[in-house]
Amino acid sequence: MKLWNRLMCYCRRHSPWLFHLNSGSCNGCDIEIVAALTPRYDAEQLGVRLEGSPRHADILCVTGPVTKNAVCAIKTVYGQVCGPKAVVAIGSCPATTNVFIDSRTLDGPLSKHIPVDVFVPGCPPRPDAIIEGVAKAAEILAARGNISAQAPPAIEQTVEVQA
Amino acid sequence: MSILTALARLLIFPGILFAVPAAWFFLWVERKSVAMMQGRIGPPFMQPFFDFIKLLGKDTPPRNGVAGRLMRAWPLIAVSTAVGAVGLLPVLPSSGGFQGDLILLLALLEVPSICIIAAGFTSRSIFGEIGSAREAVLSVSYNVVFLLAIISVAASQHTFRLEALAQAPATPLRWVGILAILICLPAKLHLNPFSLPNAEQEIYSGPMVEFAGPELAMWELSHGLEWVAATGLVATLIAPQMAFWGLSALVFVALSFGIVLLLSALAAATARLAIDTTVRFYWQCTIIFAVLAVSSALFMRLRS
């Protein structure tokens, strides 16, 4: 059983499947996520796959400052991702709502609505920072999976990637 | 003895013990070769295995009632029939045992695709239903050509027995049939010019949209096993007869590998076609091959 847990931990770390969720982003970070999969950065070396359905994903990558329209969608999609799961907030917008702070159309930041594990700051962050954030999220995911599939992340687990 | 041989074929070679690692290997070859053709490094060697184990450890959303049970059943049916299809392949010279024929093999090869259609409709997701409808249309369009090609191969050798077909020498007529089968393989395996049912960008991976965790792992495995079965079918039709069983197993694996590379190159080089273009391609262009092959096979048979 212990061996199986170790194998599972190893496999979780080496096979993070992403679902990309745009919560009102300007598309800057979205382009950088796609750039992380291109030949220059090639995130598939880490086993990263961008999935079409949140049901298949392990890591939810959220971009954008969370508009009021997007709150319901974010909660739904977060619920649709099956545990163990992790959330990566990509860019400065989901972390702080960035330059859109105090806008009446926003209901951010992201951590108000769902637990966030890794923040990747930047406007937009570089693809290598995004890949590092995903790798850290995969490690958190692997550690979390063996404790409890549905455990919410503690605040001290939150990691910030240096851009 | 015959039961033992049949069990050995189903469980060891070319059955489960060979087919499951081969399925992961072919899935890796596909991803790796596509990555290399795009100038990337691509996933590590054990990637499909990592994905499989990880998916086994994920939760599934709670589903009740008949639909929930069906959604657990479809991927298992798909995997077991795909294993059965691989186990039937006449790779080694038989020493008795259960010998299925071509019709059984075709039926087993077709079941995973029917399971995918049923799974999409069972999931009751709008994307799943669109994907299933596409899969059904795709299946109708390539199967006409595929079955005609198989009939031409069988008619040219006067038999439906797999053993006899594998042993018979490859005639020029048979090559036309094999070519038609090869043209159908990308559609059967949902590869790129014909990857309509599982289009990720348009319909959120189609029939698989609601599947998660172990169920999705089984779908991935059945997809890999379909790779082994479909490429293995062509490999056994092409492979020359060997005296030594180890050599014939080696030739089988090498030929399957070559076909996987060929199909991956095609997938990397092409973009997805629309459904009407796909149907037109199979029913207007490719069917000429198949009709040519089957009519000449029947003609030769009448003459002899």
Question: What confidence category does residue B253 fall into, taking pLDDT thresholds of 50, 70 and 90?
Answer: confident
Letter for the amino acid at A11? Answer: C
| Whether the predicted pLDDT of A149 surpasses 50 | no
Q: Which of A11, A39, A50 sits opposite B54 (nearest CB)?
A: A11
Chain B residues with CB-CB distance to A141 below 8 A: none
What number is the average pLDDT over the span B102-111? 88
Range scoring the smallest mean pLDDT among A115-129, B32-46, B182-196: B182-196
Query: To 10 degrees, the CA torsion angle through B156, B6, B12, B87?
Result: 40
Mutation site for B-interface testing, chosen from A13, A41, A55, A148 by largest number of B Cβ within 10 Å: A55
Domain count, chain A: 1
Percentage of chain B surpassing pLDDT 70?
A: 95
Mean model confidence pLDDT for chain B: 83
State the maximum Cα–Cα separation within chain B, in Å, rounded to a whole number.
63
Query: To 10 degrees, the CA torsion angle through B151, B85, B113, B122?
Result: 140
Letter for the amino acid at A22? Answer: N
CA distance A23 to chain B (A): 18
CA distance B5 to B146: 30
| Whether the predicted pLDDT of B288 surpasses 90 | no
Chain A residues with CB-CB distance to B44 below 8 A: 14, 45, 47
Letter for the amino acid at A146? Answer: N
Residue A92: name the closest of A103, A101, A80, A79 by CA: A101
Of A60 and B297, more confident: A60
The residue behind tokens 């999609």 is A77
Tokens of B46: 């054990």
Domain containing residue A123: 2-160
> Domain-by-domain residue ranges, chain B?
2-303
Report ipTM (2 d.p.): 0.86
CA distance B104 to B117: 20
Q: Where are the alpha helices (DSSP H) in chain B?
A: 2-11, 16-37, 47-56, 65-88, 102-122, 126-156, 162-167, 172-188, 200-203, 213-238, 245-269, 275-280, 287-303
Per-residue pLDDT reduced to its tens digit, B118-129? 998 888 888 888
What are the backbone angles phi and psi of residue A20, rounded to the nearest 5°?
A: -100, 125
Question: What does each C-alpha distance from B294 to A65, A147, B11, B148, B163 come to in angstroms?
Answer: 62, 61, 35, 6, 21
Tokens of B11: 């469980």
Mutation site for A-interface testing, chosen from B45, B51, B52, B54 by largest number of A Cβ within 10 Å: B54
Q: Cβ A44–B212 below 8 Å, yes or no?
A: no
Chain B residues with CB-CB distance to A50 below 8 A: 200
- CATH number, domain of A82, equals 3.40.50.12280
What number is the average pLDDT over the span B108-119? 91
Letter for the amino acid at A19? Answer: F
Q: Where are the alpha helices (DSSP H) in chain A?
A: 2-14, 28-36, 68-80, 92-96, 127-147
Per-residue pLDDT reduced to its tens digit, B183-241? 888 888 888 888 877 776 777 778 888 888 899 999 999 999 998 888 888 888 887 77
Chain B residues with CB-CB distance to A58 below 8 A: 54, 58
Residue A152: CB atoms within 10 A of its CB come to: 9
Q: How much is the pTM?
A: 0.88
Chain B residues with CB-CB distance to A49 below 8 A: 51
Q: Cβ B210–A55 below 8 Å, yes or no?
A: yes
Range scoring the smallest mean pLDDT among B71-80, B231-240, B252-261: B231-240
Tokens of A137: 């999220």
B34-53: buried (b, 16+ CB within 10 Å) or exposed (e) per residue?
bbeeeebebbeebbbbbbbb
Identify the bridge partners of residue A86 per DSSP, sorted by sequence position: A59
Residue A77: CB atoms within 10 A of its CB come to: 18
CA triple A33-A35-A36, angle to 5 deg: 65
Pair B269, B127: CB distance under 8 Å: no
Q: Cβ B59–A149 below 8 Å, yes or no?
A: yes
B172 upstream amide cis, omega within 30 of 0: no
Tokens of B121: 């409709």
What number is the average pLDDT over the span A68-77? 91
Q: How many C-alpha atoms does B227 have within 13 Å on its Cβ side?
A: 31
pLDDT at A158: 52
CA distance B129 to chain A (A): 14
Question: What confidence category does residue B177 fall into, taking pLDDT thresholds of 50, 70 and 90?
Answer: confident
